[in-house]
Copies of this chain bind each other. A is one copy, B any other.
Amino acid sequence: MRRFIVVGHRAVTTPQFSLDDLAGAAGRMDLLLNAANAALLVSHDLRRDVEATLVLLGPPDPPRAIRLVGSQLEMWGPDIRSNAALIRRALGHASRLEGETSPGIFAGRRNLREVLDSISDPIVELREDGADIRTVPLSRDLAFVLSDSVDLTSEERTIVAAKKPIVCSVGPRSLHTDHVISIVHNEFDRRYPPTPS
């Protein structure tokens, strides 16, 4: 399983956010949704071997983790506005116990540490000062940790560092999260080409 964990520092944690202002009032929810699409979608299909977890840390009721399971999603598509409606439904589930709020969408009150603790695969931290991802030996099953438009906080970096991550960079420029994910996928699609179905 290829996993992407994206930390949304300002993404709101109420199911009442407006679909008409995902970038503003919803705390750059558009950025998380674009990242999820880069993680989960190929042309006219979903990546069935991918899981994306969005960690929402904005007001009023953080933390929340929303886990999107490519092999089980039924209603996820390219339109981020429609996907945002599924996120709203997921935010209605505020229990610490993860619950399935739509097919393939699991939500719960979990923070970054708890999300990472639930993963046994090696962690890859994507940072501009990391080793070039094209040159690092990497297994097929990995969990990539990324941040939204601001860097991970020092506390979050400590949490990630405790997992002894492989630290990689995708290239010489600082890019948007969704674009980084597209580049990561491309590298792995090349190393582990899809088998014809």
Contacts and interface: CB of A to CB of B under 8 A. Distances in A.
Interface of A: 19-24, 30-31, 34, 37-38, 41-44, 78-82, 149, 170-176, 178-179, 182-183, 185-186, 189-190, 193-194
A193 B172 contact: yes
A43 B175 contact: yes
Contacts of A190: 171-172
Nearest to A77: B23
Contacts of A30: 78-81
Nearest to A43: B174
Identical subunits present: 2
Q: Which 10 pairs show the lowest CB-CB distances between chains A and B?
A: A23-B79, A179-B182, A43-B174, A182-B182, A172-B193, A183-B186, A171-B186, A173-B189, A171-B189, A172-B189
A149 B43 contact: yes
A186 B82 CA distance: 29
A79 B186 contact: no
Contacts of A23: 78-79, 81-82
Nearest to A174: B43
Contact of A186 (B20, B170, B178): B170
A89 to B, nearest CB: 19
A179 B185 contact: yes
A94 to B, nearest CB: 28
Nearest to A79: B23
A92 B181 CA distance: 36
23 contacts: A22-B81, A30-B78, A30-B80, A30-B81, A31-B78, A38-B179, A43-B149, A43-B173, A43-B174, A44-B149, A44-B174, A78-B149, A78-B176, A170-B186, A171-B186, A172-B189, A173-B185, A173-B194, A175-B182, A178-B182, A182-B183, A183-B183, A186-B186
Contacts of A19: 20
